[in-house]
Chain A
């Protein structure tokens, strides 16, 4: 029996036992949110208690509302997070991020590598949220970061101009290496015209990218803020991952 099947069986037959089983997860979630700066560390045990009380009350609703599409653990984690957020709103306690968050940045090299990888995965997730713009956003970010564009970067768009045209587009985009942002956006605009249905001027591309970028930065920085990303830092992150990939 898988872990999810055990959870579902307990949800149906013994929800209180399920709650006991999930005590470590509840504590981890509360701790994780507290460390993000939602709550002073000393209040963690109180919040765990409050969340547990609310969960006991909400168990019948959880059983009723869970639609079995995601794993129960994921669903339950979202429920616990939402309960915590309700509490935070009620308490209006928004504190500065805990020092541990900042301490991470001054750790050892291996840990740095891990953090860079984790942050890059966060960036991938943030860009993925934009669905049909995902490919165009990555292309723009890579061109702005002066990363070598391959034909693979030009796959998956609405239109397929064919392999020869893709190679040519890649060459043109790579020719913008170390050129001004304006020239880069002009080339991206030309490439996107061939790759998706939309006809956008370089200026329109710049505006579109700027608005998306603002939101990506917000998503990356979080609320309350856990980081202080700017476009330049994002580009360094992409460059760093790319150079690590090449050095392997």
Chain B
């Protein structure tokens, strides 16, 4: 058979394979189809130009197919990595779940306590008690309190806590000595404060409850110590020792009910 164009039916360019035939032949060479019109094969057998075209098209399809597979593989790999990361995160969360549950429970209790504090009516201030050591003061009666309310009375005040043990710098320091922060009083006990007085200075002791509400204000002019008989309900309290313009010291103490 001579090298001439023998295949004519089915394509309009008369001599060479058209796009449909090239596609068909390429699929045949790529084993994507079993059969091919014999006339088409005979034409390609005798036409060098069509052989080159078919080969080039098949090569291109192979290259594109490989690239598509590679892109797909990368996409799958990317998805797999993302899935792995999500799984790792889930595993970590599962491991931390007991801790998270405990933290959440504690947070819930604190939040509840805070809400109750907010809605509880504020108590009136105990009033000024200048010239302390009022031995004739009436002892408060400690009513049996609800456990939760009692617990609330011991919740520290975040603002006052920051002031406790803070260092105050000034030219003159009266070096006040009061109850330590771990001191536990019972109703009726006496609170004592001592300091080094400065001429012309005025000293003041203020007692605050754990919500920052003032409970007592004790003026101690021209003296180096004062005593105050505690008549407070069980709870956490703060004491502030102040000068005319200065805050010298903040401390805290607890008051417990008298055991019957």
Contact = CB atoms under 8 A, between A and B. Distances in A.
A32 B54 contact: no
Contacts, number: 96
Nearest to A29: B64
Contacts of A66: 20
A81 B27 contact: no
Contacts of B29: 125, 128-129
Chain A contact residues: over half helix, strand or loop, or mixed? helix
Contact of B23 (A33, A77, A129, A215): A77
Which residue among A66, A69, A129, A223 has the maximum number of chain B CB atoms within 10 Å of its CB?
A: A129
Given A74-B61, A77-B60, A125-B58, A132 B19 contact: no
A77 B26 CA distance: 11
A14 interface: no
B67 A28 contact: yes
B60 A32 contact: yes
B153 interface: no
A131 B64 contact: no
B52 A218 contact: yes
Given A125-B58, A215-B51, A65 B45 contact: no
A207 interface: no
Contact of A222 (B19, B59, B64): B59
A131 B26 contact: no
Contacts of A219: 51-52, 55
Interface residues of B, number: 34
Contacts of A31: 67
Interface string A24-46: 11001101110100000000000
Given A70-B27, A219-B52, A223-B52, A75 B19 contact: yes
B113 to A, nearest CB: 61
Interface residues of A, number: 38
Interface in B39-72: 41-42, 44-45, 48, 51-52, 54-64, 66-68, 71
A33 to B, nearest CB: 7
B32 interface: yes
Interface of A: 24-25, 28-29, 31-33, 35, 65-67, 69-71, 74-75, 77-79, 81-82, 118, 121-122, 125-126, 128-133, 215, 218-219, 222-223, 226
